[in-house]
Amino acid sequence: MSRKCAVIFGANGISGIAMTKALLASDEWGPIICVSRRPPQLEEAANDSRIQFVSIDMVKSSADDLASKLSAAGAAVAQHAFFYTYIEKQDFKEMNDVNLMLLEKALHALGLVSPKLKSFMLQTGAKYYGCHVGGAEMVRDLPWKEDAPRLCKSCFYYDQEDLLHTYAANKSWRYLITRPNVILGVSKVKNLKRDFIWPGNEIEYTTHFDHSTADNNSRFQLYISVNDKVPSGAYNIKDNDKTTFSELWPKIAEYFGLSIPDPHFKDEKAKHPKEQSMYCQMPLTKYAPENKEKWHEIAKKHNLDPSAYDYATWEFVDGTAGRTWPDYLSMEKARQYGWKEERDTLKSYYEVFDELKKMKIIPE
C-alpha cells in the first residue's frame, strides 16, 4: 500500500498533537514529519517509526535551513501540510510580523523540497470575526460566516490568510484555512480549597459559546485536505450548535469533585456587566500569580510537571470568560462539502482532563 506523507508544523502544540494522533490512527500515513523546537511530547509519536522529527527554531533559522531539514526527513514526497505554529506577543505589530514570517518560511521551504504537495492547511481562528475585542471591531451578524467583513484592527490572521492566498495563486496545490473557536483550560483549585468559580461574568456564562475540540478540528482538517472536491478557501469548524458554560461548568466541577458557590455571582458587575464590555469577577491574570507558589507545592506533592504553570495563557482565559457577547460560528459551508460530524463538548473536556492527568499536568 502506498502511504501518504504529511508535514506538521507546530507538532507539539494542542492542535499539532491532535493532528499527529489523527494521522497515526491510520496505516495509510507515513512518513509523518513533525516540526517543532522540542522533541515529540506525544508518547505514541516517540514510539512509532513513521514519525520523522525535525527539531528547529523557525524564528532563528532561515527558510533554506528549514528546507534542508525537511528534505532530510523525507519531505520530497510530502502531499499534505498542516500549519499550527504560533508565537504570542504582547505588541500586535510584533505578533503580526513574527507569525507572518513563520508562515512564509514554511511555504518557501516546502516550495523548495516538496514538489508533490497537494494541500496546505493553515489554522487561524474565530478571532478573525473580532470575538476577542467586541464592539465595532466584531462582526455583529450571527452566525459568523467565512466571507464576513474584516473589522478587527488587531488580528494577525488577515495578513497570514492573504499571504497564503497570494502564495498559492500559481501553485498546483489547494490552500485551506480553518477557523476553530477556543477550548478553555481549568484552574487547579482543588488543592487550594477554593470553590469552583466561573472566572468571568454571568452574561458569558449563560450565552451561546462555540467550542472547537482539537481532535474534532484535526479530523475535519484531514477530511478537507484529502478531499479534492473541497476547494481552496476558509472553513469554520466547531463541535456543535448548543453549548453554554452554564451547562458545562457544573459538570466540570463534578469531575474534579469541586463545589460551585451559591450565589455564583456575588459581584454586581459580574451579574450585570455593561453591554459589549469585558469583566471578570476573578481575573486569572491576578489570581494565578498570587497562587504560583501554591501551584509549585501541588506539583511537588503530586509529582506533576513543574513547568505546566509557565505554559498557561491566563490573559487568553480572561479575554474569553470576560466577554459579554455570544460566539457563534456558521457550519453551513463545511456541511455543504459533506462534513456531518458533531462532537460532545463535555465528553471532550473529560478526555482532555484524563490526558492531562496522564501527562502529569494536573493531579489524579
pLDDT at 252: 92
- Cα–Cα distance list, 283 to 201, 243, 287, 311 (Å): 10, 23, 6, 17
pLDDT at 1: 58
Single-letter residue type at 94? E
pLDDT at 254: 93
Task: Express each pLDDT in 140-152 by its tens digit.
Answer: 999 999 999 999 9
pLDDT at 189: 43
Output the CA angle 161-167-168, nearest 5 degrees: 90
Which residue ranges form the domains of the chain, and what is each CATH number? 4-182+211-239+328-344 (3.40.50.720)
- 331: three-class secondary structure by DSSP: coil
Per-residue pLDDT of the chain (364 residues; tens, 9 = 90+): 579 999 999 998 889 989 999 999 999 999 999 999 987 777 777 788 999 999 999 999 999 999 999 999 999 999 999 999 999 888 999 999 999 999 999 999 999 999 999 999 999 999 999 998 899 999 999 999 999 999 999 999 999 999 999 999 999 999 999 999 974 333 334 454 567 899 999 999 999 999 999 999 999 999 999 999 999 999 999 999 888 999 999 999 999 889 999 889 988 999 999 988 999 999 989 988 888 888 788 888 888 777 777 767 788 889 889 999 999 999 999 999 999 999 999 998 898 888 878 777 777 7
Q: At what angle do helices 63-72 and 92-113 cross, to 10 degrees?
A: 50
Residues 6 or more apart whose Cβ sits within 8 Å of residue 311: none
pLDDT at 193: 52
pLDDT at 188: 39
Task: Express each pLDDT in 322-332 by its tens digit.
Answer: 999 999 999 99
Q: Nearest Cα to 230, choosing from 97, 87, 333, 91?
A: 333
